[in-house]
């Protein structure tokens, strides 16, 4: 069994989360990997010796907490939580279904608050631990058709910086990573065809060269590898040609 501390990654079934899981797996960390589509995690190229997989919707705090406690019984306290699970549903605020606003707030904001609350008490008591929240460039800059998504990601920025200040004295770290456009499954959930085609046209302005998700995983690893007394508060990372 690995002697390294436990790392919990949400949204590990695709995109940034899957790449981050692979990177920490290669470095022999015990992992708790969470998503709703667990079969996709099972299909990742991982050494499954110290990997736990649980079907969790991050907006369900009880389900989320049960999974974390189960893993902590085996591997000890969570040393890193990567709050990565998220959904981006584009649409002009006048036409977008309110249910899409709700989905984004439940996942992108409440999911992050849930995860944070689940691990934070023990981290404070132990004076040890790191939480890395995956936000977005849309967490500090406006783009058309992003009203509710931007509101959720501005929210991630706000809650991360607030909690970072609240727990700094106990040596617990909170960091943000704010990626630009990258090739993942994120766009496949957009239901508004006009918003989708506008986004794809915007991406073409970058010559179709968006950010490699592997670079986001490497940035998360870099933040974590700093000594506990050093916090990288935010990394903003995007394809060079993104404006």
Contacts with ligand NDP in 15-34 (CB under 6 A)?
Answer: 15-17
Alpha-carbon distance 243 to 239, whole Å?
Answer: 9
Contacts with ligand NDP in 69-108 (CB under 6 A)?
Answer: 84-88, 107
Distance of CA 206 to the CA centre of its chain: 24
Query: Considering beta carbons, is residue 39 or 49 the nearer one to ligand NDP?
Result: 39
| 3-class secondary structure, 211 | strand
Least CB distance from residue 178 to ligand NDP, whole Å?
7
Phi, psi of 51 (to 5 degrees): -120, 120
Residues binding ligand NDP: what is the number (CB under 6 A)? 30
Which range binds ligand NDP by CB under 6 A, 4-12, 113-121, 160-168, 192-200? 4-12
Task: Give the pairing of strands 51-55 and 130-134.
Answer: unpaired
- 112 lines the binding site for ligand NDP (CB under 6 A): no
In the chain, the DSSP E strands lie at: 6-10, 31-35, 51-55, 78-83, 130-134, 173-179, 234-237
Find out whether 175 and 233 touch, Cβ atoms under 8 Å.
yes
Least CB distance from residue 40 to ligand NDP, whole Å?
6
Binding mask 168-187 for ligand NDP (x = CB under 6 A): -----------x-xx-xxx-
Least CB distance from residue 125 to ligand NDP, whole Å?
27
Least CB distance from residue 184 to ligand NDP, whole Å?
3
Query: Considering beta carbons, is residue 14 or 25 the nearer one to ligand NDP?
Result: 14
Alpha-carbon distance 231 to 170, whole Å?
Answer: 13
- 239 lines the binding site for ligand NDP (CB under 6 A): no
- 155 lines the binding site for ligand NDP (CB under 6 A): no
DSSP 169: G
Catalytic machinery residues: 149
Which range binds ligand NDP by CB under 6 A, 13-21, 113-121, 168-176, 193-201? 13-21
| 3-class secondary structure, 108 | helix
Report the alpha-carbon angle 42-15-75, nearest 5: 50
46 contact partners, CB below 8 Å, separation of at least 6: 21, 22, 25
Query: Considering beta carbons, is residue 2 or 198 the nearer one to ligand NDP?
Result: 198
- Selected from 8, 31, 32, 35, the binder of ligand NDP by CB under 6 A is 35
Least CB distance from residue 63 to ligand NDP, whole Å?
9
């Amino acid at each position: 069994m690995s002697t390294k501390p436990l790392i919990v990654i949400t949204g590990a079934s695709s995109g940034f989360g899957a790449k981050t899981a692979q990177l920490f797996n290669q470095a022999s960390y015990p992992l708790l990997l969470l998503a709703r589509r667990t079969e996709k995690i099972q299909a990742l190229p991982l050494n499954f010796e110290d990997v736990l997989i649980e079907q969790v919707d991050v907006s369900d705090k009880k389900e989320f907490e049960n999974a974390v406690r189960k893993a902590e019984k085996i591997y000890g306290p969570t040393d890193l939580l990567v709050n990565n699970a998220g959904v981006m549903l584009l649409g002009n605020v006048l036409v977008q279904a309110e249910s899409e606003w709700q989905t984004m707030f439940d996942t992108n904001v409440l999911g992050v608050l849930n995860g944070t609350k689940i691990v934070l008490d023990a981290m404070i008591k132990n004076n040890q631990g790191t939480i890395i929240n995956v936000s977005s460039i849309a967490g500090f800059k406006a783009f058309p058709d992003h009203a509710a998504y931007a509101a959720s990601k501005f929210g991630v920025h706000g809650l991360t910086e607030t909690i970072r200040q609240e727990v700094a004295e106990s040596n617990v770290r909170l960091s943000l990573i704010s990626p630009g456009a990258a090739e993942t499954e994120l766009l496949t959930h957009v239901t508004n065809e006009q918003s989708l085609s506008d986004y794809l046209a915007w991406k073409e302005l970058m010559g179709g060269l968006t950010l490699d998700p592997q670079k986001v995983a490497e940035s998360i690893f870099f933040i974590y590898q700093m000594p506990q007394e050093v916090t990288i508060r935010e990394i903003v990372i995007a394809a060079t040609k993104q404006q």
